Amino acid sequence: MASTTPLWKKNLYICCIASFIVSIGMSQMAPILPLYIAELGVDNPADIARWSGIVFGCNFISLAIFSPIWGRLSDRLGRKPMILRASGWLGLIMIGMGFAQSVWHLVLLRLLQGCLSGFQAAVIPLLALETPKKRSGWAMGMFFTAQVSGGLMGPVFGGWLSETIGFRNAFFLIGICCLLGFLALTQISETKQPVREKAAAVELPAFRELPQHTIILGVFLTTILLHFSLSCVAPILTVYVQEIAGNIDHLAIVSGAIFSAAGFASMLFASRLGRLADRIGSARILFACLLLSGIVTIPQGMVSAPWQLGVLRFFHGIAIAGLMPSTNNLIRQLAPPALMGRIFGINQSAQFIGMFTGAFFGGQLAASIGIRNLFWLVAALLLGNALWCRFCIYSRTEKSALQ
């Protein structure tokens, strides 16, 4: 009996499964990275914080450079080849990180990771073009739910693995997870193949020539500020847990659980917020979630116990659940179809620029002004971004009646 499930939904489900698998592997790295760096010979806590930021963020340099290139190629050659290239390369790099002998090896591998990666930059345009526009908010929410669900399991699972089989074997398992995601992605079908002659003749116009170019630019800037704020904290969260809790047993597991609190909240709320965005507009969701994230970041710099941080990270996860799908859906609504891959590629570069600068400067700021003060700085950036979004994105989308 023939299946009645639309092909766009089948693609969505396959991409969600693959994203879930890849996210389990990738999210294991964040809470164990500072401990792995210490095992590689870095002893001073301040140096561990600095190196954690550098290693965590350095691949975003190459990702920011190469994402628009891969996005443009996806417009010409198709999204599926780019998806397979990115997911397979991630698996190989993660296995390589298990063989690292110094922190510089981690830096080099993370830079190489960015050169041929760009998984989201390939998957999101495929889903955006295959999905009916009226269902795009829900689809982006579903995809993000799969990401954060894997991210929810990864940190706790990775912390447990690091204590049972060791850091190196944990990285080997990360690579295997990514390769399993690669196998799942071979089953997707790309129905809207690019017209190569037409795509080759189309050059990316100046932003002022794009429809609603000022709103698109506003989304790019918001993406940079958003990911800068998020990445300031991620690589040094384990160090912060140790600072507020002391030398507790099972530090990797406790830190992983706190990482997962945000992921659990995002898993619960992402598809709901995506469906709400389809009704009231992604710009409204974006503003509200930026405001919430800024508010809940302030008390994170005042906690005195890990469970308090976990509760606040849960509410932070609710905000994150609406932020990333909203920016992607805004681009889906605004970008011309022939340039979809390139516009998403530029936005992906903006994301990686924010992630690199956040991870790099977050580690440096944590070492110089303290982690608690870093949370307050991040809160100020998020609240400022919310106000800017209210006047430069939300009001303009209301006037143009795009939502």
Note the pLDDT tens digit of each residue in 168-190.
Answer: 888 888 888 788 888 888 888 77
Q: Do the domain assignments include residue 5?
A: no
Q: Do the domain assignments include residue 4?
A: no
Note the pLDDT tens digit of each residue in 268-308.
Answer: 887 778 778 777 777 788 888 889 988 998 998 888 888 88
For residue 298, the model assigns a pLDDT of: 92
For residue 239, the model assigns a pLDDT of: 80
For residue 299, the model assigns a pLDDT of: 92
pTM score above 0.85: no
Residue pair 374/362 in contact (Cβ under 8 Å)? The answer is yes
Q: Do the domain assignments include residue 194?
A: no
Burial 199-218 (b: 16+ CB within 10 A, else e): beebebeeeeebebeebbbb
Q: Do the domain assignments include residue 64?
A: yes
For residue 401, the model assigns a pLDDT of: 46
Q: Provide the domain limits for residue 241.
A: 12-187+207-400
Amino acid making up residue 274: G
For residue 399, the model assigns a pLDDT of: 52
- Residues 6+ positions from 30 with CB-CB distance below 8 Å: 56, 155, 234, 235, 237, 259
Q: Do the domain assignments include residue 259?
A: yes
Q: Do the domain assignments include residue 79?
A: yes
For residue 154, the model assigns a pLDDT of: 73
CA distance 401 to 341: 24
For residue 367, the model assigns a pLDDT of: 77
For residue 295, the model assigns a pLDDT of: 92
- Hey, what are 323's tokens? 């932020």
Work out the angle between the directed axes of helices 136-164 and 119-130 (0-180°, nearest 10).
150
Q: What's the domain count of the chain?
A: 1
Nearest CA to 56 out of 33, 88, 80 is that of: 33
| Residue with tokens 């689809």, as numbered in its chain | 139
Q: What's the chain's length in residues?
A: 403
Q: Do the domain assignments include residue 2?
A: no
Nearest CA to 290 out of 203, 374, 388, 211 is that of: 388
- Hey, what are 57's tokens? 């963020």
pLDDT averaged over consecutive 10-residue blocks of the chain (403 residues)? 69 86 74 83 80 77 76 75 86 89 89 78 77 77 77 72 82 83 82 54 53 74 81 78 77 77 78 78 83 90 87 88 78 71 76 79 79 88 84 61 45
What is the CATH classification number for the domain harbouring 264? 1.20.1250.20
Burial class (CB in 10 A: 0-12, 13-18, 19+), 249: exposed
For residue 338, the model assigns a pLDDT of: 67
Residue pair 345/68 in contact (Cβ under 8 Å)? The answer is yes
Q: Do the domain assignments include residue 61?
A: yes
